[in-house]
């Protein structure tokens, strides 16, 4: 067993040595994010208690981006992700399905749902399961509006998420991990520290042990999800949390899970809880 663990450590070190090069600790350690000159965003704060022994401080991915990318998020006119949010506002008022209803028939407006983004994923008593925002939206579409179920991480779903995130900007993440959600949270935690793929890497290897370093041309962040959905410049579109998870696992040269899968729901709950205390800042801009 000792030899097996030693060999695993050697493989992990070799993989990271091949990918990661030393870099300055942060893109700008003193950077502060204020959106539109008025929405103050907490991008650095004390880590939640459950991360004791792992991290003392948590940092938004915004702090690891270039000055140019940071600036794009500071003004809604420059943030291309806000086009998705605007489309989400329109969807909110659009009648969908056989019941002749829009979201407005049950809610006063997107602003009335400003508490949604900071608290999801969360336990759904009726379904007896942890629900993500997209799962909840699909229930509303199919069960209340008579509309067709949307594919996970579809453009429609990401637009809805972008709208919900935009009205919650500045609100601290506060995802519950106790009670009936705890078992799912524990599952997500185990997954976070599990090595995947031919590169034998876990989420923690990059985002806990090597944040601040460079992996190829990317400045490794802590992998916080408070900025999702994110507009990725390299993809020229909004990306959801599960889409990013899928890409990360694929990059370890492993067979990945699907967006909306129980595995990714559990992982989202755990990773979201690691950012408790950071402000919601989506739709954010990333490389």
Distance, CA of 144 to CA of 140 (rounded, Å): 5
106 annotated to bind ligand? yes
Q: Note the pLDDT tens digit of each residue in 181-237.
A: 999 999 999 999 999 999 999 999 999 999 999 887 789 999 999 999 999 999 999
Residue 10 lies in a domain: no
> How many structural domains comprise the chain?
1
Residue 27 lies in a domain: no
What average pLDDT does range 167-171 have in this prediction? 98
Is the predicted pLDDT of residue 77 greater than 60, yes or no? Answer: yes
Q: Report the mean per-residue pLDDT for the chain.
A: 91
Q: Which residues pair with 131 in a beta bridge?
A: 122
- Give the pLDDT of residue 287: 87
Q: Which long-range contacts (CB under 8 A, 24 or more apart) does 214-221 make?
A: 214/20, 214/21, 214/22, 214/23, 215/19, 215/20, 216/19, 218/287, 219/23, 219/27, 219/64, 219/65, 220/20, 220/64, 221/59, 221/60, 221/61, 221/63, 221/64
Average pLDDT over residues 99-119: 96
Compute the distance between CA of residue 48 and CA of residue 131 in angstroms, rounded to an integer: 22
Q: Is 140 annotated as a binding residue?
A: yes
List residues bridging with 286 in a β-sheet.
232
Q: What pLDDT score does 217 carry?
A: 76
The token pair at 84 is 């998705």
* Residue 248 counted as an annotated binding residue: yes
* pLDDT of 181: 98
* pLDDT surpasses 50 at 20: no
- Residue 85 covered by a domain: yes
Catalytic residue among 35, 191, 248, 266: 248
pLDDT at 239 over 90: yes
- With respect to residue 21, please indicate whether it lies within any of the assigned structural domains: no
- Answer whether residue 7 is part of any domain: no
Residue 161 has pLDDT above 80, yes or no: yes
The reply to whether 243 falls in a domain is yes
Looking at the chain, the whole-number percentage of residues with pLDDT higher than 90 is 86
Q: Is the dihedral of CA 154, 156, 162, 164 positive or negative?
A: negative
Out of 28-42, 123-137, 250-264, least confident range: 28-42
Question: How much is the pLDDT for 28?
Answer: 57
| Torsion angle, alpha carbons of 257, 62, 189, 261, to 10 | -20
**What percent of the chain stands above pLDDT 70?**
90
169 in a labelled binding site: no
On the CB side of 250, CA atoms within 13 Å amount to: 9
Q: Tokens 């992982």 sit at which residue? A: 267
- Statement: residue 16 has pLDDT above 70: no
Residue 29 has pLDDT above 70, yes or no: no
Q: Whole domain around residue 266: which residue ranges?
A: 34-285
Residue 17 counted as domain residue = no
pLDDT at 12: 45
CB 152 within 8 A of CB 262: no
| Measured distance CA(158)–CA(135) in Å, rounded | 12
206 is in an annotated binding site: yes
Query: What CATH number has the domain bearing residue 112?
Result: 1.10.760.10
Q: Is 248 a catalytic residue?
A: yes
Query: What pLDDT, on the 0 to 100 scale, is given for residue 11?
Result: 45
Q: Is residue 67 part of a domain?
A: yes
């Amino acid at each position: 067993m000792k030899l097996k663990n030693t060999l695993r450590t050697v493989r992990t070190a070799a993989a990271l040595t091949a990918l990661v090069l030393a870099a300055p600790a942060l893109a700008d350690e003193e950077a502060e994010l204020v959106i539109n000159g008025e929405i103050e965003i907490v991008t650095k704060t004390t880590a939640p208690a459950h991360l004791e022994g792992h991290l003392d401080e948590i940092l938004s991915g915004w702090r690891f981006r270039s000055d140019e990318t940071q600036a794009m998020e500071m003004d809604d006119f420059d943030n291309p992700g806000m086009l998705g949010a605007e489309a989400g506002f329109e969807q909110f008022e659009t009648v969908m399905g056989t019941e002749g209803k829009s979201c407005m028939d049950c809610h006063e407006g997107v602003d009335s749902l400003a508490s949604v983004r900071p608290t999801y994923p969360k336990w759904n008593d009726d379904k007896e399961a942890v629900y993500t925002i997209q799962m909840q939206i699909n229930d509303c579409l199919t069960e209340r509006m008579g509309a067709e179920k949307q594919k996970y991480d579809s453009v429609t779903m990401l637009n809805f998420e972008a709208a919900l995130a935009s009205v919650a900007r500045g609100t601290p993440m506060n995802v519950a991990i106790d009670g009936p959600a705890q078992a799912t949270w524990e599952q997500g935690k185990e997954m976070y520290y599990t090595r995947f793929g031919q590169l034998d890497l876990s989420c923690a290897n990059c985002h806990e042990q090597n944040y601040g370093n460079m992996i190829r041309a990317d400045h490794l962040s802590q992998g916080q999800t408070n900025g999702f959905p994110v507009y990725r410049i390299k993809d020229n579109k909004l990306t959801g949390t599960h889409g990013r998870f899928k890409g990360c696992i694929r990059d370890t040269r492993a067979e990945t899970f699907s967006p909306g899968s129980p595995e990714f729901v559990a992982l989202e709950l755990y990773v979201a809880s690691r950012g408790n205390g950071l402000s919601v800042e989506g739709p954010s801009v990333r490389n």
